């Protein structure tokens, strides 16, 4: 087994048999800043959610098997250089982009924060240190994917979102948006990487109210705390001056809340104890 890379959340090893091993950690990042504090049980939730969703979705994927509470084996892929984002609700960066006219929404004249979109939209980004939204024309122009691949990714990503939306709804949740990654193997496309609370926004239906910040059952809890306490602005200011942002300590009560909500979302959606 050969160590390949350590990402924001997981460590990746090459098993040198055509497969990779993912080891999920309790590390957490937000706004492209890695924090020194960890979220207990987070790695286990991400690992077991990945197993659940890959098995639940009737889409070709790279999952092979889970080998521990925090490790899975997957087929090695040539990863596509775009992140496939599906948005079902008016939230997150979509709001700012819509308000500054950098994105148009079909069949929308007036819309409120957290309101459901008329139909889910495919809103891909580049895959870099700081992801940037990209259009179909530019994705093809810059050789990131072919036109056929882009159309397949758009259709398949929305299909996956709708399946996951229905599953979340049956467990009492709203799946607001979703980030997916795909890879190629022998010219076939496969759903890849991981799927869990670091890849989507999840809200409890009973707490959902249009026009307000939603109670998150995902990493958005940390983003909201950072924004409310001025840290996001500090991160932006640091980058603007060419410096690397310094992460603050995460309050213990927020760490506990994140652990509790990660666990609760898993147990309700999967319908079994962690």
Residue 55 has pLDDT above 80, yes or no: yes
Share of the chain above pLDDT 90, in %: 94
Which domains does the chain show, CATH number per domain?
Answer: 2-75 (3.30.200.20), 78-240 (3.30.470.20)
What would the mean pLDDT of 215-230 be, rounded to a whole number?
A: 94
At 32, is the secondary structure helix, strand, or coil?
A: coil
What per-residue confidence (pLDDT) applies to 131?
81
Residue 129 has pLDDT above 80, yes or no: no
Residue 4 has pLDDT above 70, yes or no: yes
Q: Give the span between the Cα atoms of 245 and 236, in whole angstroms.
A: 8
Share of the chain above pLDDT 70, in %: 100
What per-residue confidence (pLDDT) applies to 127?
87
Residue 130 has pLDDT above 80, yes or no: no
Residue 223 has pLDDT above 90, yes or no: yes
What per-residue confidence (pLDDT) applies to 264?
97
67-114 pLDDT tens trace? 999 999 999 999 999 999 999 999 999 999 999 999 999 889 889 999
Q: Give the span between the Cα atoms of 145 and 227, in whole angstroms.
A: 34
Task: Kindly report the backbone phi and psi dihedral angles of residue 160, in degrees, each rounded to the nearest multiple of 5, phi listed first.
Answer: -65, -45
b (16+ CB within 10 A) / e for 13-46: beeeeeebbbbbbbbbebbebebebebebbbbbb
For residue 78, give Cα distances in angstroms to 190, 201, 259.
10, 27, 33
Residue 216 has pLDDT above 70, yes or no: yes
What per-residue confidence (pLDDT) applies to 158?
98
């Amino acid at each position: 087994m050969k160590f390949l890379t350590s990402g924001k959340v997981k460590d990746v090893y090459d098993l040198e048999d055509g497969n990779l091993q993912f080891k999920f950690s309790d590390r957490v990042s937000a706004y492209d800043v890695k924090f020194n504090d960890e979220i207990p049980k987070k790695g286990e939730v991400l690992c077991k959610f990945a197993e659940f969703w890959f098995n639940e979705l009737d889409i070709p994927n790279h999952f092979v098997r889970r080998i521990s509470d925090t490790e899975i084996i997957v087929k090695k892929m040539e990863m596509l250089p775009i992140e496939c984002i599906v948005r079902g609700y008016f939230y997150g960066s979509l709001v700012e982009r819509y308000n500054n006219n950098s994105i148009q929404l079909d069949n929308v004249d007036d819309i409120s924060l957290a309101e459901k979109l008329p139909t889910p939209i495919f809103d891909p980004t580049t895959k870099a240190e700081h992801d940037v939204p990209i259009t179909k024309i530019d994705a093809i122009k810059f050789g990131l994917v072919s036109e056929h691949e882009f159309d397949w990714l758009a259709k398949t990503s929305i299909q996956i979102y709708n399946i996951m939306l229905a599953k979340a709804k049956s467990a009492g949740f709203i799946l607001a948006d979703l980030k997916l990654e795909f890879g190629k193997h022998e010219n076939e496309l496969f759903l890849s990487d991981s799927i869990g609370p670091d890849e989507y926004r999840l809200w409890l239906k009973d707490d959902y109210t249009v026009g307000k910040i939603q109670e998150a059952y995902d990493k958005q809890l940390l983003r909201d705390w950072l924004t409310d306490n001025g840290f996001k602005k500090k991160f932006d200011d640091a980058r603007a001056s060419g410096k690397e942002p310094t992460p603050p300590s995460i309050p213990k009560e927020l760490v506990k809340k994140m652990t509790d909500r990660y666990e609760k979302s898993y147990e309700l959606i999967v319908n079994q104890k962690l």
